[in-house]
Structure 1
């Protein structure tokens, strides 16, 4: 089993906390004393930050050439790239950190990464549940694929049930919602919510204009 395979197995059994920039990730984990894994992926590499009780204690960088662990991996961290944070059991985090411990946390602090102030809406973000009911005209859209994105990063996706319903557990904020029906046609819209429970009805009958509900 490769490192990526091991990480995938862990994340499948872990609770999703949200999507963050590097500065937001460090701030959110420290503020809430979280134990978890922050993961950033693209086509060529995977970067992991492992947190234990709010502290970034471990790091991994994986690409086609192999893997870097601990302090060398931190040097490959890229500001501005999105991270998805998953909460894991302390025993799992501790086992991972034992292989990739960060000894020089000053590497993270240089450039202000640990000291980036989070102001405005970010400090008020809370985890909530977004309930969407998707209609195509007068009929509920069953079996439609609904994807939630933050910028270029796909956060999560699911398929609507027989009544057109689907729900997601997300940090409050602004997201792009992409809905695909069974023919593959897509509708895009902007979703914004700030309450613990939000219900929205979406009608894709008019299709996508690129700026809001279809």
Structure 2
């Protein structure tokens, strides 16, 4: 499989390096069949696009290869991707082996500090601490996502004591907790615009 990716890149035209959000916009705007790669200390991420849409994903590291949704659940969207255009039949072939189904996790996400600049929030930002517990034990490494109306989402991962923190404006939020690639919990939370601690039991 790795050889097939190498062939696709070798026989493709390099278009440059793109930040994640700009990468998606560019490919969609140009309706490209393409392969995008990101290399980091942990390994390589490969995204496959067909007719301008993300269709497949793969991760290659020292432990082997992962395909599909499992890759995008933990995708680091802060890195830079190298973009290569390719023939549609080759993109289709790669996507068929690495198919993405849960595409909502491909959307760019912004960190909590960005939310403070959104003028539609009328209350003063405050510190919010979440503690996630299951079976009376704190959960480590759980992704907590908060979204308000149509504003960009913000997320953090729980530490060893099950906690994570945000700086947010008051208001109504949708809180989504991703326990693993197959388990997701959603809650509606109202913040009063003051520092608080919220414990969520799964």
Query: What is the TM-score with the length of structure 1 in the denominator?
Result: 0.49
1:87 to 85, 88, 98: 85
Dislocated runs of 4+, deviation >2 Å: 3-6, 109-112
CA distance in structure 1 between the aligned counterparts of 2:59 and 2:36, rounded to whole angstroms: 12
Q: CA deviation at 1:80?
A: 1.7
Q: Which residue of 1 aligns with 2:27?
A: 29
| Cα shift readout 1:59-79 (whole Å, capped 9, x = no counterpart) | 111111111111101123112
| Cα shift readout 1:136-162 (whole Å, capped 9, x = no counterpart) | xxxxxxxxxxxxxxxxxxxxxxxxxxx
Unaligned runs of 5+ in 2: 111-202
**Do the aligned residues in 2 keep the contact of 1:61 with 1:76 (CA within 8 Å)?**
no
Q: Which residue of 1 aligns with 2:104?
A: 106
CA distance in structure 1 between the aligned counterparts of 2:17 and 2:52, rounded to whole angstroms: 16
Q: Which residue of 1 aligns with 2:55?
A: 57
Aligned length: 110
Which deviates more, 56-65 or 41-50? 41-50
CA distance in structure 1 between the aligned counterparts of 2:2 and 2:97, rounded to whole angstroms: 14
Unaligned runs of 5+ in 1: 113-214
Q: Which residue of 2 aligns with 1:46?
A: 44
Alignment RMSD, CA only?
A: 1.5
Other structure's SS at 1:78 match: coil
Q: Which residue of 2 aligns with 1:182?
A: none
